[in-house]
Amino acid sequence: MRITLLPILLCFISFCSPGQSFEINGIVKNANDDALSSVNVSLQNTNYSALTDQEGKFKISGVSQGEYKLIISHIGFKKLQKTVKIHNKSVFEEINLENAATELNEVTVTSEKQSKVLETKPIAISSVEIKNVVSQNVLITDVVDRLSGVRIRRSSSLGETSDVSINGMRGNAVRIYIDGLPMEFMYPNFDISTLPIGNLKRIDVYKGVLPVDVGTDALGGGINLVTEQKSYNSLRASYNVGSFNTHLADFSLGLANSKNYFVNVTGAYNYSDNNYGMDAQIYEKNNKVERIHRFHDRYRIGFGGITIGTHSKPWADELKLTLNLSSGDKQLQNGARVSSLAFGEVLYEAKNLSAILKYDKSLWNEKALFSTTFNYSDQQLIYIDTTSNVYSWSGKVIGRKGTEGEYSLGYTKTYIQGLVNRASFSYKLSANHKLLISNLYARQKLTGIDYLEEDPAKDYLRVPQYLTKNVAGVQYEGIFWNKLTFSTALKRFDYILDGAENNTFQLFKKKGGIWGYNAGLKYDLAPGMFIRTSYEKGYLIPLFAQFVGNGADIVRNTDLLPESSDNLNLGFSIARPINKILNISSTVNGFYRQQHDIIFIGDGVVKRYDNADQVRTVGVEGDVSLTYKNAFTLKTNVTFLRKTFTKVKIQESQFLVGTAFPNNPNFYANSEFAWAKSGLLKTQDRFRAYVFYTYIAPFNHITVGKENSVKNTPEAYVPVQHRVDAGLSYKFASNGLTASINAINLLNAKLFDNYLVPRAGTNFNVKLIYQLLNF
């Protein structure tokens, strides 16, 4: 508790203390005295920063008296540092940046700290720059899981499906995007944890409210993975080796010429045996619990891609074509829960070909920007589960069943083709007012072959199924009195499902359309301090299989309605120096989610999906970061939420009203203490060491009544979890090499995930990153 309250007390003391505030303003130009817009200007060792406007002007307010280092950076120009002495109310600086001889001018210029810009929007966003965390984390999910309000749960098996939760909303309610395109159309059966981290620039997490140029039918928020492709000569490669025979490697090579043409080649390979230890019942030893190593859990996947493009042309700010190819397989050791028997032969195989065409063009002296991206993907998924063998957790075959299939009998090949286009047009009505129009069209076709069905006329997979979505939106954002920022958006969701009902093969077509909307408001109380609130009426379109059933024990229900949710956020944020050597930043966000028409499947002999339950989530999240002398950093975040049933359709389940929603952590926190030192051995090197701690309170992994608790029904709950990680990294001074070593679950604590699935004990990884720029 002392660690959590100390930053808050220091923050309060600093605001109550009297003091003068000063202002730095100026203009940034190039060597020809032309004004430069979107230049990042910041004060070193503080959280003060600004972007220049169209006239090259910037202003930083609320600065204390003293001497500072002014840092000016812009892509295509040499970085500049300048000492500034602040002793008057206002200090003016005129700055000329020098062209970088080996870098090309990029047309789309973004801030070095774009993540900080996003986090000051009226809507709740958490953003992470990958370059700051890549030596410490090996998976995308590891990065996101450390943010307040976010829980990503998966087993320790690399390649296993992840369950993403943002402020208590989970599963399909949270959408994943890659550069604003929905991942479920680009990589239908891939998971966020399987994508390589090396080619990412930034991860943006939207909590409850999504802008029109990113969102689709996301019920409770989304995660946008922003990729990075440099248009100048660059080379980056990394290799990670870890416990359980885990190997992760990736590289990116970028080449460019003086005529602004470029090519990027990327590749990645992930492999793991996933043979970590866990406690399991050994069938041939009368179900005695012993420590075993998982034996049928291998994962491997390879990615390759090439991008060709050009930029800074009269007819295009940027035009590029990307081709990506990926292929891999995953053995399955257990289902959603760990039962008394293991799986010994179930296997998935997947291949994906993706083509992406992107075009950007600014208009009318950069007052407007038109952007469009097309994606075509073709994916094959093979599922094999035909054995009659019965496996013990020891790895031995202990018998044979009269029927086939360990998890779900099948030998199928599924083909999924997808086409996605997002087109956006933004227009600056004035310096402080902007209009944005965006439209996303997505169409997916699913066919396949069931090799166990001898009669092709009875093979349901051979019947083409189509899903079409169109999400259009218009959004306005304006700044009033230099303190109040207001944004609002109107969205239209349309969908068409076209195919056949599962068991009768009757042709089926379903159309629907809904209006959604959101609004956000932010008020700047002082430099670096603001309050904000936002609201969205979100919708989630049902899956095709939920409409048509599975042809066996689940029948169709063509009257299903989309799920909806009222998402409300209210928050406070501060980021400012307490003095010259101590900086503080903190964000507190309260959230309310009311989900309606949740799609639910009954427990009868013949089942169907219905709009049944209603669920309410109320919670608060907060984070605090303290930085001392730009060397010591303490980061802590805490999330508390209560997710309960408010309405249950089934009469015999009315006892659930007011009880906790199952398999949903309701209190979790993490804290990291790090020390970084530049010039430890040589002038330009950098050393960093950290200790990271995670706490997860007990939560019910199955449905429980009001009278149940961890004490009287411990078998219904995931026990309390304490996890400690530690690591260090060293960036060498001259050769572009960074080396790191990380220890996960250092104290070998018993950890669990979805539905009480065990996680790995103590494990290690070593990572090497090599980067060469502007060669």
- By the 8 A CB rule, do 475 and 211 touch? yes
pLDDT band at 105 (very low <50, low <70, confident <90, very high): very low
- By the 8 A CB rule, do 436 and 210 touch? no
**pLDDT for 760 beyond 50:** yes
pLDDT value at residue 602:
59
Q: Specify which of 41-45, 456-460, 598-602 reaches the highest per-range mean pLDDT.
A: 456-460
Give the ranges where 187-283 is alpha helix by DSSP (H).
Answer: none
- By the 8 A CB rule, do 204 and 176 touch? no
Segment (H or E) for 452: none
Mean pLDDT, the chain, integer: 86
The angle formed by the CA atoms of residues 477, 483 and 487, to the nearest 5 degrees, is 20
Q: If we measure between CA atoms, which residue out of 148, 153, 135, 144 comes closest to residue 177? A: 144
Q: pLDDT tens digits for 628-675?
A: 988 999 999 999 999 998 887 777 777 778 888 888 899 999 999 999
Q: What is the pTM of this model?
A: 0.82
Distance CA 149, CA 165 (A): 8
Please give the average per-residue pLDDT across 345-368, as a whole number.
93
CA Rg, the chain, in Å? 27
DSSP string, 111-142: -TTHHHHHTTSSS-EEEEEGGGTTTT-SSHHH
More confident residue, 613 or 462: 462
More confident residue, 720 or 103: 720
- By the 8 A CB rule, do 39 and 51 touch? yes
pLDDT value at residue 109:
35
Distance CA 42, CA 62 (A): 13
Q: pLDDT tens digits for 482-496?
A: 899 999 999 999 999
Query: What are the residues facing 354 on neighbouring strands?
Result: 324, 377
**pLDDT for 735 beyond 80:** no
**pLDDT for 611 beyond 80:** no
Distance CA 413, CA 461 (A): 9
pLDDT band at 100 (very low <50, low <70, confident <90, very high): low
pLDDT value at residue 12:
35
User: What is the DSSP code (8-state) at residue 463?
Assistant: S
Task: Return the beta strands (E) in 481-559 as ranges.
Answer: 484-500, 507-526, 529-540, 554-555
Contacts of 638 (CB under 8 A, 6+ apart): 4, 148, 621, 622, 623, 668, 669
Give the type of residue at 273: D
DSSP 3-state assignment of 477?
Answer: strand
Structural tokens at position 443:
């169409």
Quick one: 711 exposed, middle or buried, by C-beta within 10 A (0-12, 13-18, 19+)?
exposed
Structural tokens at position 542:
């049902």
Q: Which CATH architecture best describes the domain 227-773?
A: Beta Barrel (2.40)
pLDDT value at residue 10:
36
Distance CA 629, CA 677 (A): 10
> What is the fold, at CATH topology level, of the domain defined by 114-226?
Ferric Hydroxamate Uptake Protein; Chain A, domain 1 (2.170.130)
Please give the average per-residue pLDDT across 71-75, as a whole number.
80
Distance CA 251, CA 324 (A): 14
pLDDT band at 71 (very low <50, low <70, confident <90, very high): confident
Distance CA 30, CA 61 (A): 24
pLDDT value at residue 488:
97
Q: Any idea which of 318-322, 590-594, 652-656, 712-716 has the lowest mean pLDDT? A: 652-656
Q: Is 2.60.40.10 the CATH classification of the domain at 2-96?
A: yes
pLDDT value at residue 76:
65
Distance CA 98, CA 72 (A): 11
Q: How many helices (H) and strands (E) does the chain have?
A: 5, 46
CA dist list (Å): 321 to 315, 324, 363, 372, 444: 16, 10, 22, 12, 21
- By the 8 A CB rule, do 595 and 563 touch? yes
Q: Domain residues of the chain, as ranges? A: 2-96, 114-226, 227-773
Sort residue 483 into left (φ over 0), alpha (ψ -120 to 50) or beta. Answer: alpha
Contacts of 75 (CB under 8 A, 6+ apart): 103, 105, 106, 109, 110
pLDDT value at residue 559:
80
Please give the average per-residue pLDDT across 667-696, as a whole number.
92
Strand bridging mode 175-178 / 221-227: parallel
pLDDT band at 58 (very low <50, low <70, confident <90, very high): confident
- By the 8 A CB rule, do 40 and 74 touch? yes
**pLDDT for 4 beyond 70:** no
In SS3 terms, 598-624 reads as CEEECCCCCEEEEECCEEEEEEEEEEE
Q: Any idea which of 272-281, 411-420, 651-660, 705-714 has the lowest mean pLDDT? A: 651-660
Q: If we measure between CA atoms, which residue out of 304, 303, 282, 309 comes closest to residue 293? A: 282
Query: What proportion of the chain, given as a percentage, has pLDDT over 70?
Result: 92
Structural tokens at position 17:
């203390």
DSSP string, 716-759: GEEPPEEEEEEEEEEE-SSS-EEEEEEEESTT----B-GGG-B-
The half-sphere exposure of 300 on its side-chain side, counting CA atoms within 13 A, is 6
pLDDT band at 678 (very low <50, low <70, confident <90, very high): confident
**pLDDT for 502 beyond 80:** no
pLDDT band at 724 (very low <50, low <70, confident <90, very high): very high
The angle formed by the CA atoms of residues 213, 217 and 219, to the nearest 5 degrees, is 110
User: What is the DSSP code (8-state) at residue 77?
Assistant: B
Contacts of 76 (CB under 8 A, 6+ apart): 99, 100, 103, 104, 105, 106, 109
**pLDDT for 767 beyond 80:** yes
DSSP string, 425-444: EEEEEETTEEEEEEEEEEEE
pLDDT value at residue 101:
40
**pLDDT for 214 beyond 70:** yes
- By the 8 A CB rule, do 729 and 740 touch? yes
pLDDT value at residue 561:
85
pLDDT value at residue 8:
35
pLDDT value at residue 46:
64
> How many residues are recorded in the chain?
775
**pLDDT for 722 beyond 80:** yes
More confident residue, 754 or 710: 710
Query: What are the residues facing 772 on neighbouring strands?
Result: 235
Contacts of 712 (CB under 8 A, 6+ apart): none
More confident residue, 67 or 381: 381
